[in-house]
Amino acid sequence: MRTVALGAGADLDGFRRAARALVAQGVAPEGVLFTEGVGLFADEPLPDAPAFALPKSVPPIVADVVRHSDPERYGLLYRLIWRVVHGERALPEVVSDPLIHRLHLMRKSLARDIHKMHAFVRFRQVETPEGERYVAWFEPEHHILESVGPFFRDRFGSLHWSILTPRGTIHWDRERLAYGPPATRADAPDGDAFEAGWRAYYESIFNPARANPGAMRAEMPKKYWKNLPETQSIPAMLQGASARVERMVEQAATVSAKREPTAALAAMHRREPPASLEALNRAIAAYVPPVAFAPRAVLGEGPVGAGIAFVGEQPGDQEEIQGRPFVGPAGQLLMRALNEAGIVREEAYLTNAVKHFKFEARGKRRIHVTPSAGEVRHYRWWLMDELDLVAPRLVVALGATAALALTGRPVAITRSRGPLMLDRGPGFVTVHPSYLLRLPDEAARERAYAAFVGDLKAAQALAAGEAPAAGA
């Protein structure tokens, strides 16, 4: 019997080297005993041996199962490799085989453990001489730390944090992800100031009429309860659920007053208008947008009393990063067109109908998403107040979203392009410069750009109280 000692935890490299050497020496699975750590009766280290080809479905199984905590995992994996190397090439696809079935269950157990760690890690704030730090304690079933580390790095990249477990530790210092030795529960903090508020919120949303311990345990297994702050409230809430339901039944039913949308709109009209553009901008900057939007508001830019104001759809990726309107590719094209039309950028007012960047994350990129009509209406009150305070002589709607915000109704740009009466007075409708960037044909882009510059010249003439030049 050959005894092979592998490193503690998930020793993938060590197992690969051992499997190559054992196969080269013709050692059958029945003649091998795998141990973890330095064993007293371990044989001499195996010599290096050349790699051999395996079906492409085998390496992922090996990479997963070595992370399982079952002490038999290495023996099971070597049995798989031995059978495949000796002719059973299709074995990984035979789900009815007892070995493959067991390996499949082990992989499912790993996936569940990773999911639970994603869901049930709770950080607690700790003040250190180096500054603010966040520490969490978790007890995974398997050796999954290197699998979950990148998830927490991406999700909490701006924080300095550590996750402590009995199987090892993960540390992130805002620059580097590192893994360390096991820790004990005493190394982690017991609580922080945030937990009291979190528990109060958790208790406030508890519905005693829907208390279902079985369903609760299915979503949040009881073995994790001891390390989650909110679960400390569960026993008391369940104990008092019946009495709370009885009190709810005994209370007389009440009917809430129907909320009329017209009344809500009238209330918005009656609200105190902002005293200045600065006051309005402070309110916009303090607003927390929905999750689909970037958190930073991009405010309008330009002088109060500008002769002409340009309203776009929403800020883009570069605008949100820099905090200024029209600085991305579409904005640069607009600046070029304004210059050719004879409009001085510093004398115009530039803003957007929607003040936050709505996007969809694709890897590291943020892809623009057009705001819905409801979202445009949500921001419309700010836009109207903004234009009232700036008081331009003419407002130019760049694209359909801006036209919707300025008129309160959908506008077909191709049919309405040119002078158009807006809710607050004279206006002009043209395409958004991003439309020009999306045209696939260079000749078409040049024609569309020339027409866009002509629109800007016509708008400039209207703002100056002149008739547009012929052909403009």
Percent above pLDDT 90 for the chain: 65
**DSSP states of 64-125:** HHTTS--TTHHHHHHHHHHHHHTT-TTGGG-TTSHHHHHHHHHHHHHHHHHHHHHHH---EE
Question: Based on the domain organization, do 131 and 106 belong to the same domain?
Answer: no
Q: Which of 123-137, 204-218, 359-373, 439-453 has the lowest mean pLDDT?
A: 204-218
| 329-341 helix and 442-463 helix, angle to the nearest 10 degrees | 60
Domain holding 382, by residue range, is: 274-463
pLDDT, residue 193, reads: 65
Q: Write the burial class of residue 419 (CB in 10 Å: 0-12 exposed, 13-18 middle, 19+ buried).
A: middle
- Let me know whether 100 and 196 are in one domain: no
For 357, residues 6+ apart whose C-beta sits below 8 A from its C-beta are 293, 294, 296, 298, 314, 315, 316, 317, 319, 320, 366, 368
Domain of residue 319, CATH code: 3.40.470.10
Quote the pLDDT of residue 331: 95
In terms of domains, do 51 and 161 share one?
A: no
In the prediction, which pLDDT does 237 show? 77
Claim to verify: residue 47 and residue 178 sit in the same structural domain: no
pLDDT score, position 244: 72
Pairing of strands 131-137, 124-128: antiparallel
pTM of this prediction? Answer: 0.49
Q: What does the pLDDT read at residue 470? A: 42
pLDDT of residue 128: 81
Burial class (CB in 10 A: 0-12, 13-18, 19+), 90: exposed
What's the structural domain count of the chain? 3
- Whether 180 has a pLDDT exceeding 70, the answer reads yes
- Average pLDDT of span 401-414: 92
Query: How confident is the model at residue 281, as a pLDDT?
Result: 93
Whether 252 shows a pLDDT value over 70: the answer reads no
Is 300 in the same domain as 427?
yes
Q: For the segment 26-51, what is each residue's pLDDT rounded down to a tens digit?
A: 999 999 999 987 654 556 778 888 98
The Cα–Cα gap between 434 and 316 comes to 10
Q: Note the pLDDT tens digit of each residue in 123-170.
A: 988 888 878 899 999 999 999 999 999 999 999 999 999 999 999 999
| Residue 392 predicted with pLDDT over 90 | yes
- Final residue in a domain of this structure, among 110, 141, 159: 110
